[in-house]
Structure 1
Amino acid sequence: MSDTPTAAPVSFAEFPAVTTAEWQARLTRELKGQDPATLRWPLPDGFSLEPFYHREALAALGGPPAPLPHPLAPWLNVPALTVPRGTDGRAQIDQAANALTNGADGIHFIIHDVPALAVHYLAEQLPLASTFVGYTVLAAPDELLSQLVEAAPGTALRGFMRFAPGPVPEGAELADYRAALRRCVRLTTGMPDFRALAVNGAFFGNRGATASQQIAFSLNTAAALLAELPDAETTAAEVAAAIHLHVAIMPGYFLEIAKLRALRRLWATLLHGFCLPAELNANLRIHAMTATWTQTTLDAHTNLLRHTTEAMSAVLGGADSLAVAPFDCLFAEANEFSARLARNLSVLLREEAGLGRVQDPAAGSYYLETLTDQLAQEAWTLFQRTEAQGGLPAMRGQLIEDIKAVATETFRRIASGQQVIVGTNRFQNKNEQFHFHPKKLLRSADFDVTRAAYPTEVLRLATAMHFERRDRKSKRAAVVLLGANTNQVILENFLQTLQEHERPELAASHPAGTLSLLYSSAEEATLMYATLDQFQKFARFIYQIPTEKQHFIPPALLTSDLATLHEAVRVFGFQEMKVQGYSTEEVLARLQGR
């Protein structure tokens, strides 16, 4: 239009251009002889971040990459609500309706019992033609979709379906579910705002995978869907159009922005490999969620700060929808206070910070464009290697082992203080009063023990229980399962509390792969380790579980009368972990800041 103002070119001509060589010389001078290479930040993905990037970085990429497509609208604020087993979901549907009037743009239901869900009530309270609704189900995704179509005939649904059949990555166990997933695709054909198939990259991220592993293994999952689902009635293009990605966002701010950007670029490469139309590239939707991997029960308000950086990374990286978890979701029942804080985070970023107004804000950044390219290259190499070895599901076990190796190294870095979790392994609140009961939490089957903070966190919780038991002179005893190899975490954390001259010679750590335990009574606390078989038999004995009962998962906390537990520990052969010069109680007291 003639009255539209013309944008003036941005120029900083008044500042002289500075060459890379001049910047490098200035950097060397400021470091006073220290090698600039010492400032490199090595990533577990196999490459390092440089302390300095300049315009040559874009030249090395063949020029500035094209910006990512601008979304038609800012990201959707889509909080998650869990519908517990044995309930019809009416309470959660009412909560969803309230959230939608208070800042939410959609709702993601995590449904544990599909047959019990009040589908018609859902359709009445949340008009399916205009409401963005996501569904995660453990079984029968096609049955739920069929019920939704029946409850709102002629309505094009908006949202997504995610089928999570068990403790494996979706797409890794297709043989039993092909028919159901194909039916999901057919039921939603002609619904451009609904994605019936999920690639759950969050599965990998929330178990500690590196950024490149998350990207690569997500692509491997998508490749399995594209290879296995097409048949005479369902085309590969229809499968591709039905896929969306779920991604967990970590606190590594710039790395997470680059992760989402690399995912979009490699998605185009994957579709090209399947000879699919290029226009499908722009249809990819990414649903981002704040990571459970980085959450903690200790100093839990720090989760609010983590969620803020994670949410910003998600939206600046180009997520289409975002779920921010309540800061207390690890230990508290769902409540409006923490849900409102989580919901309002997206609203603040959009309405007050204006983060949805710029197309691909990372575009052109020397640093972020280089990081995006490096992540894409590493991830694509890993993806190709996995596919060459059979892809999913053939390589599922190896992928899990690779992630475990990375997670174990993360636990070690946290224990030694090389990697900081604020409020957990550094800057702890020594006088923290828990807003939950440690014993109840450790007994809960829903307590997430896969997180990065867990080995340090469970030690604090178990120690608090021990000192409480000692103060009350309890006549009962407890064995707390601290996790695999946690004794090494205890040793390294303990060393951090000592001055150099105080450090004793420590006994050799317990054998790799064994379980770490804390035996606690009013009289004593002893750190121990045991094999998995020993602990299984011990738990069965304490709770009188017959051996013929095959499926028994021992809880993290076992309690009994003092005599029974003390004798059982002796009979089942648990080994004590010794710290020369210090008793277990002295170690625990030091770790608790006592």
Structure 2
Amino acid sequence: MADTPRATPVSFSEFDPISTAAWQQRISRDLKGADPASLEWHTPEGLVVQPFYHREALEALPATEAPTSTSRDWLNLPTYTVGAADKGHTAIDRAADALTRGADGAYFELTDAAAFDVAYLHEKLPLATSYVGYSIRLGAVSFVERLLATGTPTLRGFLRFDPVTDHSPDLAHQLAELRTVLTLTKAMPEFRALTLNGAFFANRGGTVTQQIGFVLAAAATYLEQLPSADVTVQQVAAALQVQVALNPNYFFEIAKLRALRRLWATLLHAFGLPADLAPALPIFAVTSTWSQTTLDPHTNLLRVTTETMAAVLGGATAVSVAPFDRIYQSPNEFSSRLARNLPVILREEAGLNRVADPAAGSYYLETITDQLAREAWALFQRVEAAEGLPAALGMVLQELHAVAQSQFQRIAAGEQVIVGTNRFQNSQEHFDYNPKRLLRSKDFDSTRAAYPSEVLRLATALHFQRREKKRRRAAVVLLGTHTNQLILESFLRLLPLQERLALKASHPEGTLSVLFSTPEAATLMYATPDQFGHFARVVCRVPVDEPDFIPPTLLTADLATMQEAVTLFGFKEFNVEGYSTEDVLARLQGRR
């Protein structure tokens, strides 16, 4: 149009460009003699993150671009857990309702796939038009055949059946089942029949590089072992999807997804497959269990917000946000609605679906994407050199355990912060649940980062409950294998340096940490697994020859019985020179 104003180029030619060296000189001057290296961040992945990045950082990176999702949009898939022997009607009804309230589909985690009522599912969510994901451990062929027996000509969604990552028994049989499933669904372009359980590694505290490297190792196993006369390697690749779990480290989680896509192209190339399959890799991102806490639980709302934003900006094709109270509450409308609406807000109000790969070009993100990709590929090669998965499973689990224990140590020392749990606690918190019932529950997730801090807080809360004092009852709580050492480190952090260095504590190897709570005092103790097992049988009145008995986390009885049993089975008190365990607990709880 003639009357349309011509755009004027925006430039700031009057400002000279500043080099990285010039910025570094200015930083050194502003630090007034302090070492600039003190501003560097050393991450659990072993990376060194600089305090600033400049455009010159991009020049040092390879020309390879991280492929992004082919779509700017993503699916909002609430998760519904269906227990053993449950037909799933309640979960299906909730999913159908959610589709009218902002959800784009549903994801069912099935404990017992054979019991799940697929006919009722098809009635409420027509399978030809509804996007539905399923997670199962066994019986993949019969489950898919039941889905198809509803009369559905084609399925939309995905199946997470990953016997390699989930350590399923009889792997050869499970791989044969997967081949049949791929054959049944290979003409269904909107159904991914082979979703990898990458969330397994994130939910056990794995570093970002471990999560990527171990997922690639699982994918390589399927690409190597699944092809047959009926299934080509290209069909295996086309059926693959990756489920990842996101933690609160915002920029690293964005970079994780971008690095995964980059390495996916490299992996496909290694199997002689076209790289253009890599951008089409669906990534199903879920908020992690590892970062959730029962203490000051509304902070979980903030965690899942940054996690979901990272998933979207990193290029996830579907997201699932967990309710903030899922660790300690049954599904309820309030928390489910908040979880369901979060992706809706990010799409409809924040507009995060308006542009593809908005993270591209960031000096910082491009640099850590490249670093994570390099480190993850090196780890993948190390697993492959150990004969891949599942042969290297022992090494994988051992490395995950070591990293998780390192995080527990940093949390105990205050070096890694969990807001509301080990820092910035709510001292006036009133629990919306029964701590005793939660600690006794077999479903209470003890694999999370916050668990050692939680179990101490919840157990000592029981000690100070008025009703326990009135009844003259006592409790013994199993805290874990290394919890007393973590408690010691947390306690020492509160003391002056000179006193901290002078203190000692005994920490017998191979023992369990327990808390013995009476109306008068709470005492930290040690016990061997055998001691605790015999003690639990006596308190629970379980015969010695009962083979399937699993000692509960929380044991209660009358005070006299508990005192006698603790003495009889030789529990040893936790000792810190100059402080009783009551002093230690009181100081940690801010009562002294």
- Give TM-score scaled by structure 1 length: 0.95
1:282 is paired with a residue whose SS is coil
Name the structure 1 match of 2:201: 204
Check if 1:397 corresponds to 2:391.
Answer: no
The counterpart of 2:369, out of the listed 365, 368, 372, is 372
- Whether the 8 Å CA contact 1:171–1:392 is kept in 2: the answer is no
Counterparts of 2:210 and 2:111 in 1: how far apart (Å)? 29
1:253 aligns with 2:250: yes
* Residue 503 to residue 42, structure 1, CA distance change in 2 (3 Å): closer
The equivalent residue for 2:182 is 185
- Give the match for residue 18 of structure 2: 18
* Matched position secondary structure for 2:17: coil
Cα shift readout 1:504-529 (whole Å, capped 9, x = no counterpart): 84332312442110011223321111
Letter in 2 for 1:109: F
SS of the equivalent of 2:465 reads helix
Once residues 278 and 242 of structure 2 are traced to their aligned partners in structure 1, the CA distance between those partners, rounded to angstroms, is: 13
Deviates more, 1:565-574 or 1:437-446: 565-574
Q: 1:539 Cα shift?
A: 2.0
Contact 1:93/1:125, CA 8 A, preserved across alignment: yes
The question of whether the paired residues in 2 share the 8 Å contact of 1:135 and 1:162 is answered with yes
**2:70 aligned with 1:71:** yes
CA distance in structure 1 between the partners assigned to 2:444 and 2:49 by the alignment: 35
Which residue in 2 is equivalent to 1:54? 54
Residues 222-280 of structure 1, C-alpha deviations (whole Å, 9 max, x = no match): 11111121222111111111111111101001111111101111111111111123332
Q: Which moved more, 1:202-211 or 1:521-530?
A: 521-530
How far apart, CA to CA, are the structure 2 residues paired with 1:9 and 1:59?
Answer: 25
Segment of structure 1 superposing worse, 67-76 or 26-35:
67-76
Give the TM-score normalised by structure 2.
Answer: 0.95
The structure-2 alpha-carbon separation of the partners of 1:388 and 1:70, relative to structure 1 and needing over 3 Å to count, comes to closer
Partner of 1:485: 482
Q: 1:68–1:359: 8 Å Cα contact kept in structure 2?
A: no
8 A contact 2:248–2:307 mirrored in 1:
yes
1:355-404 C-alpha deviation (Å, 9 max, x unpaired) = 11112111111111110010011010011011101111111111111111
Aligned to 1:81: 80
Partner of 1:438: 435
Q: Give the corresponding residue for 1:289.
A: 286
Shift of 1:538: 2.4
Q: Aligned partners of 1:355 and 1:2: how far apart in 2?
A: 35
Aligned amino acid, residue 414 of structure 2 = G
Shift of 1:5: 11
Distance 1:142 1:501, change over 3 A: same
Whole-Å separation in 1 of the counterparts to 2:4 and 2:176: 54
Q: Give yes or no for contact 2:137–2:168 (8 Å, CA) kept in 1.
A: no
CA separation in 2, counterparts of 1:452 and 1:4?
58
Q: Equivalent of 1:451, from 432, 448, 451?
A: 448
In the alignment, the residues of structure 2 paired with residue 194 and residue 428 of structure 1 have an alpha-carbon distance, to the nearest angstrom, of: 45
Shift of 1:335: 0.4
Deviation at 1:131, TM superposition (A): 1.2
Contact 1:173 1:393 (8 Å CA) reproduced? no
Q: How does 1:107-146 map to 2 (within 5 A)?
A: 107-146=106-145
CA distance in 1, matches of 2:230, 2:3: 53
Task: Report the identity percentage.
Answer: 59
Q: Which residue of 2 aligns with 1:573?
A: 570
- Kept after mapping to 1: 8 A contact 2:477/2:554: yes
Q: Cα distance, 1:4 vs. partner?
A: 12
Per the TM alignment, residue 284 of structure 1 is displaced from its structure 2 partner at its CA by: 0.9
Counterpart in 1 of 2:465? Answer: 468
Structure 1 residues 507 and 272: alpha-carbon distance in aligned structure 2, compared to 1, 3 A threshold = same
Structure 1 residue 350: Cα displacement: 0.9
Cα 1:214–1:173 shift into 2, 3 Å? farther
- The residue number in structure 2 matching 1:45 is 45
Residue 338 in 1 paired to residue 335 in 2? yes
> How many residue pairs end up in the alignment?
591
Residue matched to 1:163 = 161
Deviates more, 1:496-505 or 1:102-111: 496-505
More moved, 417-426 vs 65-74: 65-74
Q: Is the 8 Å Cα contact of residues 71 and 356 (structure 2) preserved in structure 1?
A: no
CA contact (8 A) 2:69 2:279 kept: no
Contact 1:174–1:228 under 8 Å retained in 2:
no
Show the 5 A alignment for 1:491-510.
Answer: 491-500=488-497, 503=500, 505-510=502-507
Whole-Å Cα distance in 2 between the matches of residues 251 and 200 of structure 1?
19
Q: CA deviation at 1:115?
A: 2.2
Aligned to 2:525: 528
* Distance verdict in 2 for CA 1:582–1:238, change over 3 Å: same
CA spacing shift, 1:124–1:2, aligned 2, 3 Å: farther
Q: Against the structure 1 CA distance between its residues 5 and 328, is the aligned structure 2 distance closer, same or farther, given a 3 Å change threshold?
A: farther
Match of 2:229 in 1: 232
Change (3 A) 1:291 1:355: same
CA distance in 1, matches of 2:13, 2:168: 54
Distance 1:115 1:5, change over 3 A: farther
1:303 aligns with 2:300: yes
RMSD across aligned positions (CA) = 2.3
Aligned-pair distance for 1:67?
5.5
Q: Which moved more, 1:9-18 or 1:419-428?
A: 9-18
Deviation string, structure 1 residues 393-435 (Cα, Å, up to 9, x no partner): 1111111111111111111111111111100011100010000
Q: CA deviation at 1:216?
A: 0.4
Measure the CA separation in 1 of the matches of 2:161 and 2:7: 48
